[in-house]
């Protein structure tokens, strides 16, 4: 049985993660979870990479969720660990944290390019991305309750913060799917595009963000995530701390100077 893989490629300062198991609709095996976690960590630690894109291979699915034959039985105890990938999933908390974009500290932006069905664990990873583009034929669902399971990689906490709570509850309690246009109407995704335009537009958007000052970009993401749900006075303190760090950076001096000198800025992330 194929265990799939997660490809990690770079285009300049942009990283592209591709879930690659098209025969199983890019369902996440233990191997893929470990590889995705390792790639996320490598991206976070790279001084040269500024933005990531997450997508799936083929044209049918972004990710159908966790592999029902390998991953879910392993996590429920119905299958004993058989290899190093299995043991890592069970014993290394970093694997689930980083692969789910859930509680791993990632300040760099991640763009989702949803090329088809986005289900279960795939939907949960989507909730950890910052900007979301999807193809017109994409669908979205959290069907776990239909298998007597729950979404446990962030949806219970994140989904009601990202769309209206009553709508989030209906999605999670029924397990029913919604279309790309409905996902956009709810604010779950930013844009719905023809399939052929999905990756070109994702790359163009990533390039636009990568041209901006990385200290500022990462400060925006870090502060927004940390301030979510806090009282305003606490959130304002986080904003003030971010302002102090950014204004003390060399990039913050370079940006206005380049504007006055009518040239392109050269940001070094310092």
**Phi/psi at 268 (nearest 5 deg)?**
-115, 5
Question: What is the C-alpha to C-alpha distance for residues 205 and 211, in angstroms, rounded to an integer?
Answer: 10
Q: Is 170 among the catalytic positions?
A: no
Catalytic residue among 144, 182, 239, 264: 144
Q: Which residues contact 140 (CB under 8 A, 6 or more apart)?
A: 114, 118, 119, 123, 126, 177, 178, 179, 180, 183, 188
For the CA atoms of the chain, what is the radius of gyration?
A: 19
- Taking the C-alpha atoms of residue 2 and residue 162, their distance in angstroms, rounded to an integer, is 35
Residue 33 in contact with residue 39, Cβ under 8 Å?
A: no
**Among residues 92, 124, 239, 261, which one is catalytic?**
124
- Which residues does the annotation mark as catalytic? 124, 144
């Amino acid at each position: 049985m194929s265990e799939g893989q997660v490809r990690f490629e770079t285009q300049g300062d942009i990283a592209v993660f591709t879930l690659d198991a098209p025969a199983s609709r890019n369902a996440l095996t233990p191997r893929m979870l470990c590889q995705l976690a390792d790639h996320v960590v490598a991206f976070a630690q790279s001084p040269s990479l500024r933005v990531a894109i997450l997508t799936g291979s083929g044209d049918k699915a972004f990710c159908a969720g966790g592999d029902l034959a390998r991953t879910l039985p392993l996590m429920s105890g119905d299958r004993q660990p058989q290899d190093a990938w299995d043991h890592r999933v069970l014993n290394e908390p970093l694997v689930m944290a980083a692969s789910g974009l859930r509680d791993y500290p990632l300040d760099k932006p991640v763009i989702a390019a949803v090329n088809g069905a986005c289900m279960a664990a795939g939907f949960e990873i989507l909730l950890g991305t910052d900007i979301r583009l999807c193809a017109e034929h994409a669908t979205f669902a959290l069907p776990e309750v239909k298998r007597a399971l729950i979404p446990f990689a962030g949806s219970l906490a994140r989904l009601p913060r990202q769309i209206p709570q009553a709508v989030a509850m209906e999605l999670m309690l029924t397990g029913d799917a919604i279309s790309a246009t409905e996902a956009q109407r709810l604010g779950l995704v930013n844009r719905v595009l023809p399939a052929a335009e999905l990756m070109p537009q994702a790359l163009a958007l990533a390039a636009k963000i990568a041209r901006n000052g990385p200290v500022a970009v990462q400060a925006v993401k870090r502060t927004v995530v940390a301030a979510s749900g806090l009282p305003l006075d606490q959130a304002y303190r986080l904003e003030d701390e971010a302002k102090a760090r950014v204004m003390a950076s060399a990039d913050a001096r370079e940006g206005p100077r380049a504007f006055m000198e009518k040239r392109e800025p050269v940001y070094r992330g310092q």
